[in-house]
């Protein structure tokens, strides 16, 4: 476990689904915050309303933790769409907006070692070293830090932890079906592979990603100007001369704002060559005077409802 990721956080919340992963993450975060005297806002449940009893389950999960003195908030998707991608985008946006409203700077997610291996297997043979490094321990989404302290923790430990602490969990019944690729891997492939060998296969990709992440972080600290949570600017000519490094920086900016993977770094080379105005995954790059402005396209109605108003470009 790597709860050291929370050491610089000021106010923390946990994304809670009611499953064993997020429930263990919440209890461990409670323990960590108590031990290190850090401020815990509580847990947030995103009810996607895609199952008939999801609202009842969310209320039961909230009730259990509230009885332990933990604040739990439930956000309901009023117009659900039965699509995993749309559900994930809704979840991340709502978690980030909740965090902004309540001055939370860090959101804890319950991804574990099995999730990391599944992601690697899903990307193997069709991704660059960046994608093959699988899930990152920390990412920025809509200006909020999302951390995964259980990313190196086995599912067996989590199950034992839940059992020892007698924490009630509610598992999504679709997790037991082979409807999605991830479930097929979980049920039929993961049990038959060597975790150690798979992690060794990931090692090279992880090393490459760390090396380039260090270069990206250095460049951002020197050259990126943060206007506000949804707007950045930088001098285009300050991008690295090496196309791959420049592409990775653009890709990182998109991921930092959008919270989801952009196109492959190699497919961004045309943008590097042309410069000027373009959009990647609802993230606009616009040239204005000497600066290139980077703007997140969140619907202005959403921003106004959340109290941010319209941000002029």
3 state DSSP class of 175: helix
Instruction: Please report the pLDDT score of residue 307 as a whole number.
Output: 47
Same domain, 165 and 230: no
- Beta pairing, strands 138-141 & 225-228: unpaired
Of 148, 176, 195, the position where a domain reaches its end is 195
Please indicate whether residue 291 or residue 178 has the higher confidence score (pLDDT): 291
pLDDT class of 281 with cuts at 50, 70, 90: low
Pair 272, 165 in one domain: no
Asked if the structure places residue 212 within a domain, the reply is no
91 and 149 share one domain: yes
Phi, psi of 86 (to 5 degrees): -65, -40
Average pLDDT over residues 109-117: 88
Does the residue 254 lie in any domain?
yes
Is the residue at 207 inside a domain? no
How many helices (H) and strands (E) in the chain? 11, 11
pLDDT value at position 312?
34
Mean pLDDT of the chain: 80
Residue 178 lies in a domain: yes
Q: Per-residue pLDDT tens for 221-259?
A: 999 998 876 788 999 889 998 888 888 888 888 776 655
Q: What percent of the chain has pLDDT over 70?
A: 76
- List pLDDT tens digits, range 96-110: 889 988 999 999 999
CATH number at residue 165: 3.40.50.620
Task: Fill in the DSSP letter of residue 43.
Answer: E
* 230 and 98 part of one domain: no
Residue 217 lies inside a defined structural domain of this protein: no
Structural domains counted in the chain? 2
At 190, the pLDDT band (50, 70, 90 cuts) reads low
Least confident of 26-40, 96-110, 129-143, 277-291: 129-143
Query: How far apart are the C-alpha atoms of 24 and 27, rounded to whole Å?
Result: 5
Residue 295 predicted with pLDDT over 90: no
Contacts of 121 (CB under 8 A, 6+ apart): 185, 189, 190, 198
Q: Are residues 184 and 263 in the same domain?
A: no
Whether 232 is in a domain gets the answer: yes
* CA–CA distance, 179 with 174 (Å, rounded to integer): 8
User: According to the model, what pLDDT value does residue 91 have?
Assistant: 87
How far is it between the farthest Cα atoms of the chain?
61
- State the Cα–Cα distance between residues 143 and 274, nearest whole angstrom: 28
For the stretch 55-87, pLDDT in tens is: 899 999 999 999 999 999 999 888 777 777 778
User: Is 170 found in the same domain as 232?
Assistant: no
Euclidean distance between CA atoms 215 and 140, whole angstroms:
17
Q: Is residue 33 part of a domain?
A: yes
- 219 domain-assigned: no
One domain, residues 37 and 81: yes
Same domain, 7 and 153: yes
Most confident residue range from 90-94, 233-237, 263-267: 233-237
CB 226 within 8 A of CB 257: no
List all residues 6 or more positions away from 127 whose beta carbon is below 8 Å from its beta carbon: none
| Residue 156 near residue 13 (C-beta atoms within 8 A) | no
Q: Span 177-186, mean pLDDT?
A: 62
**Domain residue limits at 118:** 3-195
Instruction: Please check whether residues 140 and 275 belong to one and the same domain.
Output: no
15/106 same-domain check? yes
My answer on whether 135 and 277 are in the same domain is no
The verdict on 15 and 104 lying in the same domain is yes
């Amino acid at each position: 476990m790597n709860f050291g990721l929370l050491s610089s956080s000021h106010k923390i919340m946990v994304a809670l689904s009611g499953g064993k992963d997020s429930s263990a993450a919440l209890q461990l975060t409670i323990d960590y915050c108590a031990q290190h005297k850090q401020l815990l806002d509580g847990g947030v449940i995103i009810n996607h309303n895609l199952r008939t009893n999801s609202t009842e389950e969310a209320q039961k999960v909230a009730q259990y933790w509230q009885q332990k003195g933990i604040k739990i908030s439930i956000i309901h998707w009023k117009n659900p769409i039965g699509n995993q991608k749309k559900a994930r985008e809704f979840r991340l946006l709502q978690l980030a907006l909740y965090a902004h409203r309540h001055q939370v700077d860090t959101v804890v997610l319950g991804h574990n070692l099995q999730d990391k291996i599944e992601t690697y297997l899903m990307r193997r043979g069709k991704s660059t070293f960046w994608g093959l490094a699988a899930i990152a321990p920390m990412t920025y989404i809509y200006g909020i830090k999302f951390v995964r302290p259980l990313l190196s923790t086995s599912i067996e430990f989590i199950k034992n932890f839940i059992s020892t602490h007698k924490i009630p969990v509610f598992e999504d019944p679709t997790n037991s079906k082979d409807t999605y690729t991830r479930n097929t891997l979980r049920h039929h492939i993961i049990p038959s592979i060597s975790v150690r060998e798979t992690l060794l296969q990931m090692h090279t990709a992880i090393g490459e990603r760390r090396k380039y992440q260090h270069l990206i972080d250095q460049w951002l600290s020197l050259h990126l100007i943060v206007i506000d949570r949804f707007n950045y600017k930088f001098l285009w000519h300050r991008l690295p001369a090496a196309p791959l490094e420049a592409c990775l920086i653009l890709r990182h900016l998109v991921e930092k704002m959008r919270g989801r993977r952009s196109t492959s770094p190699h497919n961004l080379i045309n943008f590097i060559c042309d410069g000027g105005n373009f959009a990647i995954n609802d993230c606009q790059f616009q040239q204005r005077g000497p600066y290139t402005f980077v703007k997140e396209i969140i619907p202005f109605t959403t921003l106004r409802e959340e109290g941010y108003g319209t941000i002029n470009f």
